[in-house]
């Protein structure tokens, strides 16, 4: 194992240590002493936004050498960072807020470092996902994290359709721009009566946790501009309806769409799968779009 600060290891691992460090999602007091110690001692901090992390470090009295690592440069930066790690340097990976890799950059770096035999160690801490789940009051023994819902309405509804029969608790991240539309679509596709929790601005001044049916949350947020501001996690209870019998809906739809015009394909798919026609119609248009962009 690594000795924690880099240098020689006794299990065949090479070089330094890549620390994956969680940072606060709002409240700076959530920065752990261990995170501070690592950020203050590594050779290099790989940050999603060096300006933002710079401010965080300065506030804590830490001076660190930084390099930017975000979704647009990660692929290009990884070889250099892995080389530095293999040569014995220590690197801390941080994102703008919360836990790196959870809908944040870092996956390529972690994968490449592990592949190169470098020790990768977590400094666990805040994440919007676990913070929201911890106060939701919905079953959390099993859950499905779906990241962000797609921005375009068609793709968003199709994405919701795919999890309509998922029995585990569902978790999405959402931004202020789309929260109203996403709640309305979730109510329509998943069912207006499903229990849901909307966690907003967790650990910050305007922290709000709304609980109710999807319909209630959708109405509440649509009618209150204050509830549309900030950062959100949407949690929805899993489905209780059994999935429709027969072949997977997409298989049936794809086979029919390959031979028939959309309307006819949808009519037959509804008979075969027992799915609603308007659901299938949206799905069919999405499938066509997906094929066109492949
Ligand atoms: N890696 C981060 C984490 O572990 O929390 C998530 C990064 S993701 C790019 C950012 C999204 O997380 C926001 O758009 C929002 O959906 C959610 N989020 C971040 N901070 C939040 C907070 N304080 N309250 C609620 N949601 C938050």
* 24-65 per-position pLDDT tens digit: 999 999 999 999 999 999 999 999 999 999 999 999 999 999
Residue to mutate (ligand 1; options 22, 27, 28, 98; most atoms within 8 A of CB) = 98
**201 CA closest ligand 1 atom index:** 24
Q: How confident is the model at residue 190 (pLDDT cuts 50, 70, 90)?
A: very high
Residues 133 and 122 reside in one and the same domain: no
Q: Is residue 114 part of a domain?
A: yes
In a domain, 3, yes or no: no
Cα–Cα dist 233/254, whole Å:
33
Is there an atom of ligand 1 within 6 Å of 102 CB? yes
What the block records as the tokens of 11 is 């299990």
Residue 119 lies in a domain: yes
**Average pLDDT over the chain, rounded to whole?**
92
Alpha helices in 102-261 (DSSP H): 107-115, 128-136, 153-162, 179-190, 214-222, 249-257
Asked, for residue 7, whether it belongs to a domain, the answer is no
Is 170 contained in some domain? yes
Range of the domain at 222: 129-236
For residue range 57-96, list pLDDT tens digits in order.
999 999 999 999 999 999 999 999 999 999 999 999 999 9
User: Beta-carbon neighbour count of residue 290 at 10 Å?
Assistant: 11
Q: Are residues 21 and 122 in the same domain?
A: yes
Residue linked to tokens 């994968």: 111
Q: Return the residue whose CA atom lies nearest to atom 13 of ligand 1.
A: 231
- Is residue 217, in this structure, part of any structural domain at all? yes
CA nearest to 150, candidates 193, 108, 185, 104: 185
pTM here? Answer: 0.84
Does residue 25 line the site of ligand 1, with CB under 6 A?
A: yes
- Residue (of 41, 34, 31, 47) closest to 5 by Cα position: 41
Average pLDDT over residues 12-29: 90
Domain contains 189: yes
Residue 285 and residue 203 share a domain: no
Q: Is the CB of 172 within 6 Å of ligand 1?
A: no
Residue 196 covered by a domain: yes
| Residue where a domain stops, chosen among 196, 211, 236 | 236
- Inform me whether the pLDDT recorded for 3 exceeds 90: no
Which of the listed residues 95, 126, 157 is the one where a domain comes to its end? 126
Give the residue among 31, 77, 81 at the shortest CA–CA distance from 57: 31
Q: Which of 93, 126, 159 is the last residue of a domain?
A: 126
Cα gap 269→262, rounded to integer Å: 10
Q: Rounded CA gap, 71 and 132, in Å? A: 25
Centroid of ligand 1 to alpha carbon of 44 (angstroms):
25
Are 269 and 189 within one domain? no
At 8, is the pLDDT very low, low, confident or very high (cuts 50, 70, 90)? very low
Residue 19 banded pLDDT, cuts 50, 70, 90: very high
**273 and 230 share a domain?**
no
Q: Over the stretch 218-239, which tens digit does the pLDDT of each residue have?
A: 999 999 999 999 999 999 999 9
Distance CA 143, CA 56 (A): 31
What is the number of structural domains in the chain? 3
Same domain, 22 and 122: yes
Please tell me the residue having the least CA distance from ligand 1 atom 19.
Answer: 128
And the tokens for 283? Answer: 């799905």
48 lines ligand 1 (CB under 6 A): no
Residue 144 sits in a domain of what CATH number? 3.30.950.10
Q: How many whole angstroms separate alpha carbon 197 and alpha carbon 177?
A: 18
Strand 44-47 relative to strand 91-94, pairing: parallel
Question: From the CB of residue 45, how many other CB atoms can be counted at a distance below 10 Å?
Answer: 25
CA distance 294 to 291: 5
């Amino acid at each position: 194992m690594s000795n924690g600060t880099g240098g020689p290891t006794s299990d065949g691992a090479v070089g330094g240590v890549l620390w994956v460090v969680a940072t606060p999602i709002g409240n700076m007091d959530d920065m752990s002493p261990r995170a501070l110690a690592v950020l203050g001692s590594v050779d290099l901090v790989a940050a999603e936004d060096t300006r933002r992390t710079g401010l965080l470090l300065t506030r804590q009295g830490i001076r660190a050498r930084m390099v930017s690592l975000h979704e647009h440069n990660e692929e290009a930066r990884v070889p250099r960072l892995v080389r530095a790690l293999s040569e014995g340097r220590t690197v801390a990976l941080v994102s703008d807020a919360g836990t790196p890799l959870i809908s944040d950059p870092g996956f390529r770096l972690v994968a490449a470092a592990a592949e190169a035999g470098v020790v990768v160690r977590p400094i666990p801490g805040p994440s919007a996902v676990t913070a929201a789940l911890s106060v939701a009051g919905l079953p959390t023994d099993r859950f499905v994290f779906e990241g962000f819902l797609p921005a375009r309405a068609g793709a968003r509804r199709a994405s919701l359709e795919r999890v309509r029969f998922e029995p585990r608790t569902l978790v999405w991240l959402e931004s202020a721009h789309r929260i109203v539309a996403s709640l309305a679509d979730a109510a329509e596709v998943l069912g207006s009566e499903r229990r849901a929790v909307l966690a907003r601005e967790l650990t910050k001044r305007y922290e709000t946790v709304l609980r109710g049916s999807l319909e209630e949350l959708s109405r509440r947020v649509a009618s209150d501009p204050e509830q549309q501001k900030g950062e959100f996690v949407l949690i929805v209870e899993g489905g209780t309806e059994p999935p429709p019998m027969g072949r997977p809906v997409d298989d049936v739809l794809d086979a029919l769409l390959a031979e028939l015009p959309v309307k006819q394909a949808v009519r037959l798919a509804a008979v075969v799968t027992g799915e609603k026609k308007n659901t299938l119609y949206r799905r069919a248009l999405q499938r066509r779009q997906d094929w066109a962009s492949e």
